[in-house]
Amino acid sequence: MAILRVAITREVSPALARCELTHLSRRPIDPDLAREQHHRYEACLAAAGFTVRRLPAEPGLPDSVFVEDAAVVLDEVAILGRPGAVSRRPEVPSIAEALRPHRTLVPIEPPATLDGGDILVVGRTIFAGASSRTNAEGIEALRRIAAPFGYAVRAVPVTRCLHLKSAATRVAERAVLIHPGWVEPSHFSGLEIIEIDPSEPFAANALAAGDTVIYPKAFPSTLARLEARGLRVVTVDVSELAKAEGAVTCCSLLFEAHGTPF
């Protein structure tokens, strides 16, 4: 059977305007534009070689487009998240069903909380943000589940932004894009570090999708840094999702699977 690159996404909820907000003030969100931007984002994933499996919208779950937070998909196993925001916990069962054909599923038990947005995998190292959403028990549970597969889990304190991946994301096999004011660069010693342009504080969230980096259109100065490094970057306008404190990693779960396109 062929190896497929799969992207799980979920249609924008009509309730997106009632999303959780932690570091942003509420601004009006245009739901049609949000949906359109999300569809263009999915088109970028398809162009990057991913088979996009879009789950139906969840009208009662405002943040459910941000599927990344509901699970951590490793090559060997999928860890189901237990979102730190109580309103987001009902997002997990449908993500579990979508992952079930592809991975053994392992849940996280209370009192542990873990948002996928806090989990950054670089090779066999997992950086886990200790944030307002992911607690020490969540990081310990992740370590217990991932260690037998040879992963080392490193906890990284996150206080100035929502998730670790608001401050640091992987842009190439061993390169991370970071906001040094939001996360201490020394945590990533041994990796190549690209810093965001300081004029663009939200610019550290980039999505490595195969050989392509999917990146918000809103950060031209940091984009120039990524391109100067020789990365293949495609930009997408995610302005409406950004008002919900989301960005490009949050809107998909990417993994390899055996099978035929859906």
Residue 94: which H helix or E strand, with range?
A: helix 92-99
Six token digits for residue 41: 């984002």
Binding flag, residue 19, ligand CIR (CB under 6 A): yes
Binding flag, residue 179, ligand CIR (CB under 6 A): no
Q: Which DSSP string do the residues of 164-186 spell out, in sequence order?
A: HHHHEEEEETTEEEE-TTTS-GG
Binding flag, residue 244, ligand CIR (CB under 6 A): yes
Cα–Cα distance for residue pair 24/244, rounded to 1 Å: 8
Give the binding-site size for ligand CIR (rule: CB under 6 A): 18
From 38-46, 60-68, 149-157, 254-262, give the range in contact with ligand CIR by CB under 6 A. 60-68
**Complex with ligand CIR: residue 13 or 222, whichever CB lies closer:** 13
Cα–Cα distance for residue pair 170/126, rounded to 1 Å: 11
Active-site pick, 44, 161, 250, 251: 250
Residue 250 annotated to the active site: yes
Count CB-CB contacts under 10 A for residue 3: 9
Q: Which of 97, 76, 81 lies closest to 146 in space, CA to CA?
A: 76
**Complex with ligand CIR: residue 20 or 36, whichever CB lies closer:** 20
Q: What is the DSSP letter of 250?
A: G
Active-site pick, 19, 38, 161, 163: 163
Largest distance between two CA atoms of the chain = 48
Residue 258 annotated to the active site: no
Order the strands of the 152-157 sheet from edge to edge. 119-122, 125-130, 152-157
Binding flag, residue 250, ligand CIR (CB under 6 A): yes
Minimum distance from CB of 68 to ligand CIR (Å)? 5
Site string for ligand CIR, 84-113 (x = CB under 6 A): -x--x-------------------------
Residue 222 has φ and ψ, to the nearest 5°, of -70, -35
Binding flag, residue 38, ligand CIR (CB under 6 A): no
Question: What are the residue numbers of the active site?
Answer: 163, 250
Binding site for ligand CIR (CB under 6 A): 19-20, 22, 63, 66, 68-69, 85, 88, 117, 162-163, 165, 244-247, 250
